[in-house]
Structure 1
Amino acid sequence: MPAVHAMVGEDTFLQLEAIRRIAAALGKDAQRIDFDGETAQLADVMDELRSFSMFAGTKLVVLRTAEEFISRYRSNMEEYVAAPVETATLVLRCKSLPGNQKISKLIAKHGKVEMCEPPKGRDLTPWIVSRAKTPHGLTIAPGAAQLMAELVGNDLGRLDNELAKLALMVDGKVTEADVGRSVVFQRDQEMWHMTDELTAGRVDKALQRWRQLVQSDSSTEFRAVTWLAIWLEKALKAMKLKQKNMNPFAIAKELRIWPANNVDSLLRTAERMGSAGLARALDLLAEVDHRSKSGLGDASDNVERFILSLAKT
């Protein structure tokens, strides 16, 4: 396992999937620590990397918006990447990391650079076919995969959610008719309604919607962490785009939000929680994901606890 990984690209789903693979390889006892690259201090990150965990054999240190952190501490990061510690794994989540930069070359030499850009055009349908097979155990007809691509686009998180739903509906094989019956967008819209309640501070209503979702679709509890992580990260991105005077319609297009008016709830969330609150919520969600995958509590109950924690954020 390389000691340093760079996840480079705009696609949150691919970055989260890559981190899950690393976490699984490290084992359920690995201690995970998340930092926001825009606010994290070098000393804090290095302390976590170089100190031993009291309760785990290894550490997984994840740095969001790592390009901001690298720009502030470039020489220090280059020095660390050239000789990383063996007891911790560092993951750098970057929108971009030019290959001609020294740190990019060092990561490629001593660690691993993984591109996280969604497939486009003709490459999207093969991705759907492959993703259907692993991990969902589905064989999807080319026409059905093409229909999904046309309906959903290259939003990989939503495509994966639809495949998870189809896995519960069909007996291993997916046709175009199955895709039509899966009511694309319905569950996503219900999740938006739940997060709208959270945005408005109506935690009791959010919990009620969450329980209804779990009752109507048992796969929801396993997809919720990915969906909520994407929601929170899009809220962060929406806030930054608004600060650049981008209008809501343009923000919706940039972040691939459909329907476009859903961007309003994202902006309300960002305004209420602020960048620090959103970063803390992402850290809490990472802990929820770790607990669920480690068998520590029921997945649905863990999500409920996360929803309740947002009321205090």
Structure 2
Amino acid sequence: MEVEQFLKDQAKLQLQPVYVITGSEDYLHRKAGKALKHQILAGNEDLGLGSFVGDKTSFAEVREELTTLSFFGGKRLAWVEQADDFVSKNRPALEKYFQAPSSNGVLILETSSWPSNTKLSKMLAKEALITCEAPSRKESLVAWCIAQGKNIHDKPLANDAANLLVELIGPDLGRLDQEIAKLACYAADNPKINAKDVDMLVGQGHVEKVWVLFDHIGQGNQRAAFQLLFELFEQGEEPMKLLGAFSSHLRKLAYAGRFAMQDKPMAFALEKAGFFSFTKTSAEAQLRKIGRKKINKVLTWLIETDTGMKGGSQIPPKTLMERLLAMLCSK
């Protein structure tokens, strides 16, 4: 069961003796764990919780925690973090425990994975397996950010703001939530968080600077474009953060280019790509200067540059950014 579905249904689900919280998204792990801890201990967290690290504890210690009577009544909670090795080393003992769990406590195992073909997996109740994975599609991440702003931080995000935030941060829900929390304070006097807020607070003005750089490209002033890039490097700007702003802008241009190639009016193509009315003139100039042939290669260039910066190339990140700009400016 995915964590959001579990949280939605938690009140009507029967409490289980064993839970497994699994997956790669730490933020969702913490969210599921907090909800379970509140349900099981009901205010007695300080005295009813036994925390263990999987590779530093034995099954006997965990079992003792589970079978000990709670001082204030109710159930005890034994929480094993990083439990992958713990499960592997204690599989036979856990299988016996799954068959006859203690009525005094609840066991939570936090793992990075939980293979479905094991005996333990088949013994675990369906509603006791909580999966924690970030959305894989950008559209889903954008929707998650918008919902998080509205429901958790009481501050709506404009769609373009959520798009830019995902471009800058990526599929890290913990960081996205932290940035949304900061943005909610930053834009406290505004009805909603807009893309300008995201650029200034999260992107540190990178998007605005990159727009100026692309304006130079649109005007055919390659020298000024490279000069601005070098100035940004000299000011200490990190290539990876600049690439995030490049990526956000180029993806919109590529999207508009595809519509234009389908014989759609340019104004329509730019609007569908997310350009505001007051930016359409310069965006159109940028798109025409880059040209149809190169716009079809933009997404491939972005992936290659991103992969290179993350260890896929021995070329320095600054040089990779310079190469990307050179390809955009080439004839």
Name the TM-score, length of structure 1 as normaliser. 0.55
Helix, strand or coil for the counterpart of 1:168?
helix
| Counterpart residue number, 1:148 | 165
Would the alpha carbon gap of residues 87 and 35 (structure 1) be closer, same or farther in structure 2, given more than 3 Å must change?
A: same
Is 1:121 aligned to residue 137 of structure 2? yes
Question: Using CA pairs below 8 Å that are at least 6 residues apart, which structure has the higher relative contact order?
Answer: 1
Instruction: Measure how far apart 1:107 and its partner are.
Output: 1.6
* Cα displacement string for residues 27-47 of structure 1 (whole angstroms, at most 9, x for unaligned residues): 221322111111211110000
Q: In the alignment, which of 43, 61, 74 is matched to residue 28 of structure 1?
A: 43
- In structure 2, how many angstroms separate the alpha carbons of the residues matched to 1:10 and 1:70? 17
- 1:105 corresponds in structure 2 to 122
- 1:63 deviation in Å? 0.7
Partner of 2:96: 79
Aligned to 1:11: 25
Using the TM superposition, give the Cα deviation of residue 24 of structure 1 relative to its aligned residue in structure 2, in angstroms: 2.2
Contact 1:133 1:139 in 2 (8 A): yes
Whichever residue aligns with residue 44 of structure 2, its letter is: D
Kept after mapping to 2: 8 A contact 1:4/1:90: yes
User: 1:153-204 deviations in whole A, cap 9, x for unaligned?
Assistant: 1111111111111222224522112212323589xxxxxxxxxxxxxxxxxx
Q: Would you say 1:175 and 2:194 are equivalent positions?
A: yes
SS of 1:89's equivalent in the other structure is strand
Aligned residues: 190
Question: Could you say what secondary structure the match of 1:173 adopts?
Answer: coil
Unaligned runs of 5+ in 1: 187-249, 255-259, 261-313
Whether the aligned pair in 2 keeps the contact of 1:64 and 1:94 (CA below 8 Å) is: yes
Give the 3-state SS of the residue equivalent to 1:35 in structure 2. strand
Q: Which residue number in structure 2 is paired with residue 137 of structure 1?
A: 154
**SS of residue paired to 1:21:** helix
Among 10, 16, 19, the residue aligned to 1:2: 16
- Aligned twin of 1:58: 75
Aligned with 1:120: secondary structure?
coil
C-alpha displacement at 1:82, in angstroms? Answer: 2.9
Secondary structure, in 3 states, of the residue corresponding to 2:103? Answer: coil
- CA deviations 1:189-236 (Å, max 9, x no partner) are xxxxxxxxxxxxxxxxxxxxxxxxxxxxxxxxxxxxxxxxxxxxxxxx
Which stretch shows the higher mean deviation, 78-87 or 119-128? 78-87
Q: Specify the SS of the correspondent of 1:180.
A: helix
Q: Which position in structure 1 is the counterpart of 2:112?
A: 95
- Percent same amino acid at aligned positions? 33
Matched residue type, 1:174:
I
Aligned partners of 1:131 and 1:160 also within 8 Å? yes
Q: What amino acid maps onto 1:54 in structure 2? A: F
Q: Which residue of 1 aligns with 2:289?
A: none
Equivalent residues in 2 for 1:204-223, closer than 5 Å: none
Residue segments in structure 2 that go unaligned for 5+ positions in a row: 1-14, 206-306, 312-316, 318-331
After superposition, the CA RMSD in angstroms is 2.6
Distance 1:153 1:95 in 2: 20
TM-score by length of structure 2 reads: 0.52
Q: Distance in 2 between matches of 1:71 and 1:112?
A: 19
Q: Tell me, in whole angstroms, the C-alpha distance in 2 between the residues paired with 1:168 and 1:183.
A: 13
Alignment partners' CA distance in 2, 1:92 and 1:185: 40
1:207-286 to 2 correspondence within 5 Å? none
CA deviations over 1:57-107 (Å, ceiling 9, x no partner): 332211112121111111211221233233322111111111111111212
**Which protein shows a greater Rg?**
2
Verify the 8 A CA contact 1:58 1:88 in the aligned structure 2.
yes
4+ long deviations beyond 3 Å: 183-186
